Amino acid sequence: MPTIEHKLNITEEEVPEHIRRLAQEQGECPRSKDAVIEQFRNYILEHNECQPHRSDAKYLEKFLRARYWKIENSYKLLCSYYKFREQNKSFYEKVRPLDLRHVGQSDILTVTPYRDQHGHRILIYRFGLWRPNRVTVDDIFRATIVLQELGSLEPISQIVGGVGIFDLKDLGLEHILHLSPSVAQKMIALLVTSMPIRTSALHIVNQNWLFNAAFKIFKPFLNAAMREKLYIHGSDMTSLHKHINPEHLPKRYGGLHEDYSYTLWLDMLKEQCSGNSVQKDMEQLGFIFD
């Protein structure tokens, strides 16, 4: 197996040819792209329902890609994103990503440094490992947002989106008590409605009898399209493998890979991104790296 490197693919040159073809199938036309971005910029100015902190082509492009280059839908996403930011300022402003190491050390969540057969990175939650007295719900949101914002900088991820695995092994009552409708609504906003990166599928694995209670909290916030992308596998990893090839999964899910900690992404931010465009993009969102 090749060496696994924690690295962001932030240049257009890193987009493979088959992903470029997919982008064109989604409505992205190299010849008219600049004109569509300009139309989108004018649409934002005309409607004036939200004021993005940037309006350069590179920034607007990720919202267009997330909604298949449909200007009206992209605008709705843009406004939803800024509404979420306004309602949850504590998730962005003065947040120091490198101070979220305790979340990574708990192994509650991570994103794979590799991609699946479709080019998706895989966001993995292991809620059974969560100790609410050590890691707050808000810190889980902050850690998720850091990953989502970093992922939205990658052209490949802008085009193909990502997938999520919710591993509910050892989910207990102490966890359910913290899953209020407000928490559920924010989680769905992050994974479905309010971030400039699509979630192509959500996979539930290792759920126990408490899953039904948790699902009742989340279900009202799932639209019909998202429910079609929700797959419940139990402990049957062969069912999961119908969607994600084992060669692109951790060993615990019948795959070939080791587990890679969230802290490795923080190390990447500290070592590779100091002073570069990634850090500058994140600082413009309110994150602090000093």
Q: Which domains does the chain have, with CATH numbers?
A: 15-87 (1.10.8), 97-272 (3.40.525.10)
Contacts for 252 with CB less than 8 Å, ≥ 6 apart: 167, 259
CA angle 117, 121, 124 (to 5 degrees): 115
Decide if 148 contacts 125 (C-beta within 8 A). Answer: no
Looking at residue 68, its pLDDT comes to: 98
Looking at residue 1, its pLDDT comes to: 62
Decide if 104 contacts 261 (C-beta within 8 A). Answer: yes
pTM of the model: 0.94
Q: What is the dihedral of CA 189, 73, 9, 274, to 10 degrees?
A: -60
Tens-digit pLDDT string for the chain (290 aa): 667 899 999 999 999 999 999 999 999 999 999 999 999 999 999 999 999 999 999 999 999 999 999 999 999 999 999 999 999 999 998 899 999 999 999 999 999 999 999 999 999 999 999 999 999 999 999 999 999 999 999 999 999 999 999 999 999 988 888 888 888 889 888 888 899 999 999 999 999 988 888 888 888 888 888 889 999 999 999 999 999 999 999 999 999 999 999 999 999 988 877 778 899 999 999 999 87
d(CA 235, CA 240): 9
d(CA 91, CA 146): 9
Taken in order 230, 232, 237, 241, is the CA torsion positive or negative? negative
Looking at residue 224, its pLDDT comes to: 85
Burial (CB < 10 A; 0-12, 13-18, 19+), residue 41, is middle
For 20, 74, 145, 158, 279, the CA distances from 71, given in Å and listed in that order, are 20, 5, 24, 16, 28
List, in sequence order, every beta strand (DSSP E) within the chain: 109-111, 122-126, 162-167, 199-205, 230-234
